């Protein structure tokens, strides 16, 4: 019975060490992502120029066929970049 108890303690310690290491890794990864968000996340876009959806009563909303819309993208200096997309 003593060997089983030692094995159980070993398994518990391995699981505990794994949980602590995993939590530490996730906290570190989140901090890395958060610090890089400002560097990589300053680009954005507004909504489409006109509606791109139509109500399909059978399936719900769907894209308008052959719709041509403009997306408004901005560069790092907040200068407007127009991008055309055909859906």
C-alpha torsion sign, points 37, 39, 40, 41: positive
pLDDT band at 80 (very low <50, low <70, confident <90, very high): confident
Residues of the chain with pLDDT > 90, as a percent, come to 30
Cα Dmax for the chain:
75
Helix (H) or strand (E) holding 84: strand 80-86
- Tell me the C-alpha distance between 9 and 17, whole Å: 12
Q: Are 80 and 56 in contact (CB under 8 A)?
A: no
pLDDT tens, residue by residue, 7-28: 999 999 999 999 999 999 999 9
Q: Are 42 and 32 in contact (CB under 8 A)?
A: no
Higher-pLDDT residue of 21 and 69 is 21
């Amino acid at each position: 019975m003593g060997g089983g108890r030692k094995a159980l303690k070993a398994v518990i310690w391995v699981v505990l060490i794994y949980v602590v290491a995993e939590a530490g890794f996730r906290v570190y990864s989140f901090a890395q992502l958060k610090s890089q968000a400002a560097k990589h996340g300053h680009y954005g876009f507004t909504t489409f120029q006109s509606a791109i959806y139509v109500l399909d009563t059978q399936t719900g909303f769907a894209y308008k066929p052959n719709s041509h819309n403009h997306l408004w993208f901005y560069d790092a200096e907040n200068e407007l970049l127009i991008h055309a997309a055909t859906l």
